[in-house]
Structure 1
Amino acid sequence: MEFCDECGSMMKTEDGVWVCGSCGAEKARDTQKEAAMTSTQSQEESEVIDTSEVSAEDMGPTTDARCPECGNDRAFWEMKQIRAADESETRFFTCTECEHKWREDDH
């Protein structure tokens, strides 16, 4: 990712140069510098992990959360970044009784 030296806006590539979408400033591309940049285009989504045979003690922290299936008031929880880095993480819950899984934004 490259930012404009003039206005600080994010730049995009056009015909071998970086171009600012806000002010139109241009600067030459540096292939060595770009090779060191991390791109999200080639990254794969994280794999699903089977927790069916994991003991309750190894599941992690619990919190007060009402299960929409059985009404139990305790659940294991974990936070994951599933959207863009500039968006908040999503909290996932697993009921300590019936093992129903849901996420915080499902309600």
Structure 2
Amino acid sequence: MEFCDECGSMMHSEDGLWVCRSCGFEKQQGDDDADRMTTTEGQDTDSGPVDMSEVDDSEIGPTTRVNCPECGNDRARYEMKQIRAADESETRFFTCTECEHKWREDDH
């Protein structure tokens, strides 16, 4: 990863140059830069539903104020897990303290 010398933003690789999309600064890439680069382009970042059926409710952690979509109760236990790419936010898993309904919430 390369950062702009002018504004500090992350730079992008374009035709052998590092290009800052924030301020337009450009600089030549070094020979070893390509060896250090990785990309998530084309990778499947959605692993699908997560099965929480075998997790003991007592392991799901602290409670928070959130409305249950099933019964309307305003308290649920929650747990946060990194299930997508590392550069994306964590997914929040909730379990209603009243009816035990389980759901998840992602930032979009």
Report the TM-score, using the length of structure 2 for normalisation. Answer: 0.60
Counterpart of 1:72? Answer: 73
Matched, 1:6 2:1: no
Unpaired runs of 5+ in structure 2? none
CA contact (8 A) 2:70 2:101 kept: no
Counterpart of 2:96? Answer: 95
C-alpha change, 1:63 and 1:22, in structure 2 (3 Å) is: closer
Q: CA RMSD in A?
A: 3.5
Corresponding residue SS for 1:57: helix
Question: Percent identity of the aligned residues?
Answer: 57
Corresponding residue SS for 1:93: strand
TM-fit CA distance, 1:27: 2.1
CA contact (8 A) 1:78 1:93 kept: yes
Counterpart of 2:39? Answer: 39
State the distance in 2 between where 1:51 and 1:78 align.
11
Matched, 1:18 2:18: yes
C-alpha change, 1:23 and 1:69, in structure 2 (3 Å) is: closer
How many aligned positions are there?
Answer: 104
State the distance in 1 between where 2:66 and 2:21 align.
45
C-alpha change, 1:60 and 1:35, in structure 2 (3 Å) is: farther
Residue type at the aligned position of 2:12: K
Deviations 1:75-102 (A, max 9, x none): 12123566994x8655442223241425
Unpaired runs of 5+ in structure 1? none
State the distance in 2 between where 1:53 and 1:88 align.
24
State the distance in 1 between where 2:23 and 2:73 align.
56
Corresponding residue SS for 1:6: coil
